[in-house]
Amino acid sequence: MTGLGAPSADVCGDAAAYLLGSLERGEALDFRAHLSACVVCRDEVRGLAEVLQVLPMAAPQFRAPKRVRRATIRAVRSERQRGRGHGGLVTGQPPRTGRLRFARGALGVSAAVAAATLLIFLFSSGVPATREVQARVLAGSGQAALLLSGARSELIVHGLRHPAPGHIYEVWLERGNRAPRPANVLFGVPPSGDARIAIPGDLQGAGRLLVTEERDGGSPVPTSSPVVVAQLT
Amino acid sequence: MSSGRALQALADEELMELVGAGQSRAFEVVFDRHVDAAFSLAYRMCGSRPRAEDVTQEAFLSAWRSGGSYDPARGSVRSWLLSTVRNRAIDAFRVEASKSSRDMEDDHLAEWMPAPHLTELEALRRDEAGRVRSAVGELPAEQRRVIELAYFSGFTHTEIARMLGLPTGTVKGRMRLGLSKLRVTLDSLELAA
């Protein structure tokens, strides 16, 4: 099974293997597609998922070493102070200020971004010029753009499809011919598919910004085709 | 910024809303509530204390960075965090470890760490964990084996079939039987989520 063709009846009854994460990737995609048509498998997944919620507790329980807390909290506070990380700047609400709003319907994302850029220019004298980079959304019908302003970068998506259950979007930066490197940004989208995601660090020298769908927690390397691609150079 | 005491009174889901808004203090409360379970799962999967510490830290950092993506409709915060730990541990296997090192038994692990000052909630969780462990232990060995290899060691069903010299259908059948039995047992203990 490849996961590319029509869902196969072969996956019917694979709920346990699916929930345990032991299906091959193509099979898991087939099974997910199969779920929309098979009420028996849907019920089985619903029932067995309860077991998976408590299965981690079958591990012997230990107290985590204090240094794990120290290191983690130090990193979080540091990222917080630098305004870094926390790629999940995603809410189901409109953007937090009036500086940038997506227009609906025919206006589209590019006009909204252009308007936002103008507002930023009008009300923020001294702020570095903002450059807009259009991005391609390769899955679904959403829209995306990247705003670059001095050292600040922001990916803006509109109508992006929701990641599959247990998955999240991860941002990558590609420099030259080297393999994409994690941008240390994970994000999801609300039902509207609209989100603004701060991209930490310097994008200088990056050729492309990519977004892929990865399992919760992200991945050290991309494991799926890009969903969003922004050409930076 | 909410006070520490006020944050302590919030449910995980409420805290995650604050984490999504970038409140690191709220994240610290969530961290303290679940770090032991996360580390325990990481240790069970990695079999190495330093690697378990790394996996736990990476998982919580990714949870902080993606806090706004937590969706209560998909399960509890605890399940979401532990799912992240599991994914990180499997990534660590793929990057660093040979698969043979994943295939370990409980008796290679140390005994429970001393915990003289358990809170009531921690004591309750340990009791629940003990009962879940007993339920898994009561499964027929061949069913327990495939579930542990899949869930705690991150092997696919085809890898497990190859290791055990079984048809893949048999492996999947044992997984299904095992989880179904666990469901019945845990329902009777009122432990299933």
How far apart (Å, rounded) are the C-alpha atoms in residues A33 and A50?
21
Between CA B24 and CA B14 the distance in angstroms is 14
% of chain A exceeding 70 in pLDDT: 75
Contacts of B86 in chain A (CB under 8 A): 21, 56
Strands in A130-137's sheet, in edge-to-edge order, are: A181-187, A167-174, A208-215, A228-231, A130-137, A143-149, A152-158, A195-199
Is residue B85 predicted with pLDDT exceeding 60? yes
Please judge whether A90 and B136 are an interchain contact, meaning their C-beta atoms are less than 8 angstroms apart. Answer: no
Whether residue A31 is predicted with pLDDT greater than 80 in this model: the reply is yes
pLDDT at B31 over 90: yes
Q: Which residues pair with A225 in a beta bridge?
A: none
pLDDT digits (tens, 9 = 90+) for A181-191: 888 788 888 77
* Contact (CB<8Å) B64/A64: no
pLDDT at res. A92? 32
Q: What is the pLDDT of residue A196?
A: 80
| Confidence band, pLDDT 50/70/90 cuts, at residue A107 | very low
B68 contacts: CB under 8 Å, gap ≥ 6 = A86, A88, A89, A90, A91, A187, A188, B19, B20, B21
**Nearest residue of chain B to residue A83 (CA atoms):** B22
Cβ-Cβ pairs closer than 8 A, A with B, add up to 233
pLDDT digits (tens, 9 = 90+) for B51-73: 999 999 999 998 898 877 788 87
> Best residue in A63, A214, A221 to probe B by mutation, most B CBs within 10 Å?
A63
Q: How many CB atoms lie within 10 A of CB A201?
A: 14
Predicted-complex ipTM score? 0.80
What single-letter amino acid sits at B82?
L
Task: Give the Cα separation of B181 and B135 in Å (integer).
Answer: 9
Min Cα separation A178/chain B (Å)? 18
Q: Judge residue B69's burial from the number of C-beta atoms within 10 Å of its C-beta, 0-12 exposed, 13-18 middle, 19 or more buried.
A: buried
Alpha carbon of B188: minimum distance to chain A alpha carbons (Å): 12
Q: How many residues belong to chain B? A: 193
Q: What is the pLDDT of residue B150?
A: 94
Confidence of residue A20 (pLDDT cuts 50, 70, 90): very high
Mean per-residue pLDDT of chain B: 83
Please check the confidence at residue A83 and state whether its pLDDT lies above 90.
no
Q: Is the pLDDT of residue B165 over 90?
A: yes
What percentage of residues in chain B have a pLDDT greater than 90?
46
Q: List the helix and strand counts (H, then E) for chain B.
A: 9, 0
With bands split at pLDDT 50, 70 and 90, how would you rate the model's confidence at A210? very high
Average pLDDT over residues B172-189: 92
**Which residues in chain B are closer than 8 Å to A191, comparing Cβ atoms?**
none
For A156, the enclosing helix (H) or strand (E) is strand A152-158
The conformational region for residue A60 under phi > 0 = left, psi -120 to 50 = alpha, else beta, is beta
Asked if the model's pLDDT at residue A52 lies above 50, the reply is yes
- At residue A22 the predicted structure's pLDDT band, cuts being 50, 70 and 90, is very high
Of chain A, the percentage scoring pLDDT greater than 90 comes to: 19
Determine contact, residues A197/A190, Cβ cutoff 8 Å: no
Q: What is the pLDDT of residue A97?
A: 30
Dist CA B169 CA B134 (whole Å): 27
In B, minimum Cα distance to A75 occurs at: B61
> CA-based Rg of chain A, rounded to a whole angstrom?
21
Tell me how crowded residue B3 is: count the other CB atoms within 10 A of its CB.
9
Check: pTM over 0.80? Answer yes or no.
no
Residue among B68, B135, B183 minimizing CB distance to A91: B68
Closest CA to B80 of A120, A213, A167, A101: A167
For A121-180, how does the pLDDT look when each residue is reduced to its tens digit (9 = 90+)? 334 444 456 778 889 988 878 888 888 877 678 888 888 888 887 788 889 999 888 888
Decide: A209 and A203 in contact? Cβ < 8 Å. Answer: yes
C-alpha separations of B55 from A5, A45, B25, B111 in Å: 35, 28, 22, 20
What backbone phi and psi angles, to 5 degrees, belong to A214?
-130, 170
Q: Would you say residue A32 has pLDDT above 90?
A: no
* pLDDT surpassing 50 at residue A2: no
Distance CA B60, CA A198 (A): 19
Closest Cβ–Cβ partner in B38, B68, B193 for A50: B193
Local confidence band at B118 (pLDDT 50, 70, 90 cut-offs): low
What local confidence, expressed as pLDDT, does residue B182 receive?
Answer: 94
**Can you name the residues that pair with A131 across neighbouring β-strands?**
A148
